[in-house]
Amino acid sequence: MNLTQASSPYRAPAAPDPAPNWRTFAACTQPGSDPELWYSTAEPAIEEARAYCRSCPVLADCLRDAMVLEGKSSKDNRYGVRGTYTPGERAALYRKSATVRAYVASG
């Protein structure tokens, strides 16, 4: 009998659901929010996205994630408002802050 071709009516139990991560609690993913708001380049939309971010319970997690994910990218390779910061502001934060650069480097 070839075990790789054997079929069985028995199935392994489903893996338990992973613990929810911070994205589960993000204000921008809640019903009623418009995801396009965070990727607009129009100033009124940017300010509206920032307002959501200011009340977001996972703002710090989001900003840390963006900084690590984007690394030393230029502002042209960063997208959307994250943790109240625009792409240009995140690029400037990376350039100006040795603490941020060290955190990003630590992965």
Write out the residues near ligand SF4 by the rule CB under 6 A.
Answer: 26-28, 38, 52-53, 56, 58-59, 62, 81-83
Q: Tokens standing for 95?
A: 């350039």
Nearer to ligand SF4 by Cβ, of 52 and 96: the residue is 52
Nearer to ligand SF4 by Cβ, of 30 and 77: the residue is 30
How long a stretch of residues is the chain?
A: 107
Q: Find, among 85, 53, 56, 50, the residue nearest to 69 by Cα.
A: 85
Q: 59 near 23, Cβ under 8 Å? A: no
Give the nearest distance from C-beta 81 to ligand SF4 in angstroms. 6
Give the nearest distance from C-beta 89 to ligand SF4 in angstroms. 13
Q: 91 near 73, Cβ under 8 Å? A: yes
Nearer to ligand SF4 by Cβ, of 57 and 71: the residue is 57
